[in-house]
């Protein structure tokens, strides 16, 4: 009975792993059932939900429509994957949502933790317009 239970657990784990790993497999090499809507199907994972969320974060383009979702996922992932791809999406989504204090906080931490990646990310940012100054003459 223990062997059957163990076999069931191993089988479920393998199936859940294969389901999530399809996100990272080239489209032509994916299992037929996972060639369409791969990310949505992987999000149903029980054991590898964090890995599926990481894929969702890195694959979803940041737009005004996705900013709130990306921000929430990035905050959640920061606890297990505090890496440049997560932090940069967190900062960009916070800015898009008008959370400037939060963006500044994480920008400073990003710069201190990953100075090389921070410079690379910063170089890709749209230039900040110069501050408007009032002429006094």
Is the pTM value of this prediction over 0.85? no
Q: In percent, how much of the chain has pLDDT > 70?
A: 91
* CA–CA dist 46, 12 (Å, integer): 10
Q: In angstroms, what CA-CA distances link 107 with 48, 59, 78, 114, 121? A: 29, 21, 13, 10, 10
- Read off the pLDDT of residues 88-103 as tens digits, 9 standing for 90 and up: 999 999 999 999 999 9
């Amino acid at each position: 009975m223990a062997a059957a239970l163990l076999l069931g657990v191993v089988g479920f784990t393998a199936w859940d792993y294969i389901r999530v790993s399809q996100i990272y497999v080239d489209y032509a090499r994916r299992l037929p059932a996972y060639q369409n809507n791969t990310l949505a199907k992987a999000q149903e994972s029980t054991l590898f939900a964090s890995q599926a969320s990481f894929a969702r974060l890195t694959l979803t383009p940041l737009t005004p429509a996705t900013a709130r979702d990306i921000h929430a996922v990035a905050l959640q992932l920061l606890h297990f994957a505090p890496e440049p791809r997560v932090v940069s999406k967190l900062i960009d989504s916070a800015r898009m949502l008008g959370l400037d204090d939060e963006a500044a906080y994480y920008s400073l931490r990003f710069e201190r933790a990953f100075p090389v990646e921070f410079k690379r990310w910063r170089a890709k940012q749209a230039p900040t317009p110069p501050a408007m100054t009032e002429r006094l003459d």
